[in-house]
Structure 1
Amino acid sequence: MTQTSSPANGMLFALGSASLYGLNIVYARMASFAGASGSAIVVYRVLLMLVLVGIAAAVARRSLAMAREERGTMLVLGVSTALLGICYLSAVAFIPVTVAAVVFYTFPILIVLASPFVEGTRLTPTLLGVAAMASLGVVMVVGPAFGGLDWRGLALAFAASVATAIQFFAGARCRKTGVVAKIFWIHLLVLPTATLIGLAAGQLTPPSGLAVAPFAVAMTIGGYIFGFVLQFLALGRITAVAAGIIYCTEPVVAALSSVLLLGETVNAMQIAGGVLVLAAIVTNVLLEQRRHKDAPMIAIAD
């Protein structure tokens, strides 16, 4: 089914997705403390996603056909999604969530800097200012927690950042394949990639290994599934740059969730950082609305 692209809806989808991802990483940290492997979580959530997508396609009678001209893009999406999930979930086993978030959330800046070469976006002072404001807010929210860090966690978090930037650009270009088919093929590509990486790292435990933290694992997987669907609904409607800035809400949600779920505290600097992130998002929304005000609606496949 094809419909016109709505940037406003895309931003709402991105905001919902970022919020679910922010909650998801807190539960991933809890699961890692209990001994659940990040690689195993990725593999089993991919299997569950494939089952759910197959059921949804059958019930809604949606085609799982992939647009021929988007096969290369889908391959990039699959590999980058696998690397993102494995690297980010594995990073929090070596370094705190706050530090992983600082390193991981370099991806909006990577997207902004790469956008002139990938999307032909003009780097205006306003756009650079919004990206800088959002990034500064993220650093303020997660706080200075860089003492005694494990280099493996830092490397994994930055690898996840690069993979995310690639995923956002590829997702924004993949408009002809329907969302259901897109999610199916991405995860079909993620499965062997994630399995091989898990085996190579010696972390691919049997499903019973996730029983050490059933609720945390369930919330990690659930937050990912719903967040992923909303993410790809968003990426068909807004640019990678716009989405990247909106996704700066994720660490803000993660920080608030840490307070509520893990008993952590926030200080005045973190609150000010959250305000900066929200200000950057509101500014970005206004800029996107102005940019799309007189632009023709784009046909996308749902």
Structure 2
Amino acid sequence: MTNSCSLSTNFGPTILIILAAFFFSLNTPFAPLFFDAGGNAATLNFIRMFSSSIFSVGVLLLFRNKLDLSLKTLKISAFIGLLVMGQGLCYLASVRYIPVGLAALIFFTWPMTVAIAAPFFGEKAISPKGFLFFIGGFLGIALSLGPSFDSLDWRGVSLAFAGGSLIAAMMISIRKAVIKTSPLSLAVTNNFFASLSLLAIMPFIGGWSLPNTYDAILPVVVVSIVFFSAVLCQNIGLRNVNAQSAAIIFNLEPIFSIFAAFVLLNERLEILQYFGAFIVFISLCGYQIYERKKAS
């Protein structure tokens, strides 16, 4: 087998991408605990991104790795940082106008966007048959989220689509960047620039809102750690997993979030959610088998 980026030939990196999706998913059930204590989304987003940058510096020092501060790396990191900040901001803003489930469904069109756009940036092209697995994953997410279409405000729909487009661009950009420089170094610089850009616009999006109780300590610590872990797994995994393969794996993120809410917040799961999760899993496995046959 010659395709070094396929799911089937890179089991270790694939596991890292799955872990990244899992760690990212844990932000969802813990974030409301921070909000209940008086914090807001922008503040939590800044804390998790800035702390991730600091944690990454610590790991660099621990392993005596060098931080890449070349002009080329700083430029791509600044661009990725804007994408990281922008996608989160658009997604959070969209739920002001449309239901959360609908916003999440529109947002998670981004794996299909990656499948279509990545070949224009040096990745392999997806065949129509291969793209069917991406559609299957999207339909599984739709069943799991059970979105409401009662409120179709164009502002919310536009913001959710914008967020999905930005994260698709972010995934492709990170994939191209980690091939040329250290994934850990990028974890430092990407999140630093994302934090800096968010800090600059903070006064225009509601400002700071720090919790006034100790109840916020646990969710802040957990969200910061899982976000750092997710970024690290994602960056390292993308060195050997192409953008399309990573994108279809990330369909697992909302599924993980739903089951995390079931375990941690005692939210009830419906039969359709289990069926949707099954479809996502089957789509992922089907794409893996398809890629293996193509590579053999």
Range of TM-score over shorter length? 0.7 to 0.9
Corresponding position of 1:278: 281
Residues 99 and 146 in structure 1, CA contact (< 8 A), matched pair in contact too: yes
Structure 2 residue 203 is matched with structure 1 residue 193: no
Corresponding position of 1:177: 181
Q: How much has 1:208 moved relative to structure 2?
A: 4.9
Match of 1:11 among 10, 14, 19: 14
Percent identity over paired residues: 22
Q: How much has 1:121 moved relative to structure 2?
A: 2.9
Q: 1:99 to 1:138 in 2, by over 3 A?
A: same
TM-score by length of 2: 0.86
AA partner of residue 121 (structure 2): V
Q: Matched residues in 2 for 1:91 and 1:212: separation?
A: 27
Q: Matched residues in 1 for 2:197 and 2:119: separation?
A: 30
| Map 1:93-108 → 2, pairs under 5 A | 97-108=100-111
Moved more, 7-16 or 253-262: 253-262
Equivalent pairs, count: 289
Residues 171 and 236 in structure 1, CA contact (< 8 A), matched pair in contact too: no
Structure 2 residue 100 is matched with structure 1 residue 86: no
AA partner of residue 102 (structure 2): V
Q: Matched residues in 1 for 2:68 and 2:232: separation?
A: 17
Moved more, 222-231 or 152-161: 152-161
Corresponding position of 1:76: 79
Q: 1:237 to 1:202 in 2, by over 3 A?
A: same
Moved more, 106-115 or 69-78: 69-78
Q: How much has 1:21 moved relative to structure 2?
A: 1.3
Q: Name structure 1 gaps, 5 residues minimum.
A: 294-302
Corresponding position of 1:250: 253
Q: Deviations over 1:102-145 (max 9, x none)?
A: 12211011111212322353231221111110011010110133
Q: How much has 1:24 moved relative to structure 2?
A: 1.3
Q: How much has 1:51 moved relative to structure 2?
A: 2.1
Residues 57 and 180 in structure 1, CA contact (< 8 A), matched pair in contact too: yes
Structure 2 residue 264 is matched with structure 1 residue 264: no
Q: Matched residues in 2 for 1:208 and 1:31: separation?
A: 7
Corresponding position of 1:55: 58
Q: Matched residues in 2 for 1:248 and 1:196: separation?
A: 32
TM-score by length of 1: 0.85
Residues 66 and 177 in structure 1, CA contact (< 8 A), matched pair in contact too: no
| Map 1:126-275 → 2, pairs under 5 A | 126-148=129-151, 153-174=156-177, 175-205=179-209, 207-208=210-211, 213-275=216-278
Q: 1:27 to 1:146 in 2, by over 3 A?
A: farther
Q: How much has 1:209 moved relative to structure 2?
A: 5.5
Q: How much has 1:214 moved relative to structure 2?
A: 3.0
User: Aligned Cα RMSD in Å?
Assistant: 2.6
Q: 1:107 to 1:282 in 2, by over 3 A?
A: same
Q: How much has 1:152 moved relative to structure 2?
A: 5.5
